[in-house]
A and B are shown apart, each in its own frame.
Chain A
């Protein structure tokens, strides 16, 4: 157990080091001035430039520069945005939770709709119900996420006028971002009508969550269905049936948990797709998350923002992936390290 934990800890730190090195090398790879790329501060004159160069160790070898970069990242000094002049840490602190919130709801939707549907389809394998569910999931899975979002906007926002077009919450509600998660912030805020605020926030959330969640749900259905079909053709199920165990007991005692095992590692892969989709959908719904923030940054050539944003998003995704992997390893020690299920 300790061995596994330490192995994953080493892996985690090593990956983060590689990522930090990549983000540091971007300072030199991006077009423009190295100093501006690193700090986001535009020096006014040569004297200030000299001073800044010395402060950020840019006159010293790359290794020293890298370690200085690493320590300042750890201390929370992430540099300033070229476009807005604000500290990047604050900007990401607001944008990141918005994306996490959106992806969490989409993932919950996938878990609560996708997995039961997948079980149902898998148990009824090769029947009409199964074929219908499978066909539906392949169709949904094939939708390009931006087009799906556009259709939803066109239908629900413009034609039916039941959902707002953009943003997280109406500007009438003055909500202090404490945690960054809008639903929790409403709970913490004072002096507003909580019921109305929740209704407004949820109507803003519905469409983007639906767009991202539908695609994640579809792949979840496919993964679960395959896993269930694999499990119910195993010899131990036949053995249980021959002992006269009822179908319900077979399902709850043998199928349910065994089918869940191969799904977990695939969820780790889903996280990447989920975050990508969330980032694309954000730009369409003007959701103030990290995706639209990064796209804005690239349109404005805001290189310090891109450098830190890349590090922040990849750190998020990799921590989640490694955590799911670790969890999977702990609950299922029998599995071979590199084995993964198929769709």
Chain B
């Protein structure tokens, strides 16, 4: 039987689809996404795409310039460092370490931050005031300071610096989540759920969390760019990842010793960090304006 329904024939895109359409309309955002995807692919498939072992030293080929210079050779695309290690492979593995650890830290900070933030947002009275104010004030301690203290207690190393950065990232998530939960708790749909007898846990899982995911994704990109910069800064200051481990900041810091002789050892890791952070920021920005467009239309 032929059916005619005006409403069923119309296609209703889901919120995420609408966000994607809005995101896609910005060329810059797509460019950033492609660049970020490029970095992710290189990081994930680092053992396959890198031509050499990043720790393999070769005394026969020290400080070979990158391939686009006249004295360079195509066997080492980005040249070699003072120990004869292939810079291209080291940068690929560096992306893997930096981006991977950044991602881990953001996920961890998000989990902890959202739990604390929800808790703080649902609290009321003096308790909430104390928790909120103290968290706000402690949020102000700089990452570098936390990192220095943790390194002093536990010693240097990538994992220790990761703890420090995670600790420094948590307050932002706490803050955002708390503000969001507070605002949402006053809305009517929460009231109706409450009238239906939902307890706090059900309220959070079924009502608040689905509305919060977008905010969390956007905040996650912000945190990821901070995490990448911080990991590489600590690696650069010799407080994070230690020498044989390829990490972009540490590679840059090591390259500083031969900056006169072999400037590509400083320039290439620096450009990589810059492009990585730039692509994350562009994607985050694009996502944010896409969400804003969707809400305003």
Contacts and interface: CB of A to CB of B under 8 A. Distances in A.
A166 B138 CA distance: 33
Among B182, B222, B233, chain A packs the most CB atoms within 10 A around the CB of: B233
Contacts of A178: none
A314 interface: yes
B145 A310 contact: yes
Contact of A143 (B143, B153, B274): B274
B281 interface: yes
Interface in A138-165: 138-139, 141-147, 150-151, 154
Contacts of A123: none
Given A138-B282, A150-B270, A306-B149, A144 B140 contact: no
Contacts of B236: 146
B274 A144 contact: yes
Interface stretch (B70-78, B83-91, B108-116, B129-137): B129-137
A291 B144 contact: yes
B152 A135 contact: no
Interface residues of B, number: 47
Nearest to A320: B140
A112 B248 CA distance: 34
B237 A144 contact: no
B239 A298 contact: yes
Contact of A317 (B141, B152, B225): B141
A30 interface: yes
A17 to B, nearest CB: 10
Contacts of A340: 175, 179
B interface, over-half SS: helix
Contacts of A322: 137
Given A142-B281, A147-B274, A298-B151, A272 B233 contact: no
A318 B143 CA distance: 14
Interface in A291-326: 291, 294-295, 298, 301, 303, 306, 310, 313-314, 317-318, 320-322, 325
Contacts of B225: 142
A276 B133 CA distance: 22
Nearest to A294: B148
Nearest to B215: A342
Nearest to B266: A150
B285 interface: yes
B148 A306 contact: yes
B163 to A, nearest CB: 14
A275 interface: yes
B223 interface: no
Nearest to A301: B152
A15 interface: yes
A321 B139 CA distance: 10
B97 interface: no
A338 B278 contact: no
Interface of B: 28, 130, 132-134, 136-145, 148-149, 151-153, 175, 178-179, 182, 222, 225, 229, 232-233, 236-237, 239, 249, 252, 256, 259, 263, 266, 270, 273-274, 277-278, 281-282, 285, 288
29 contacts: A18-B134, A26-B149, A26-B152, A26-B153, A30-B153, A138-B278, A142-B278, A144-B233, A144-B277, A146-B233, A147-B273, A150-B259, A151-B270, A272-B140, A276-B142, A279-B144, A280-B144, A280-B233, A295-B239, A298-B148, A298-B151, A301-B152, A303-B152, A306-B149, A306-B152, A314-B140, A318-B137, A322-B137, A338-B178
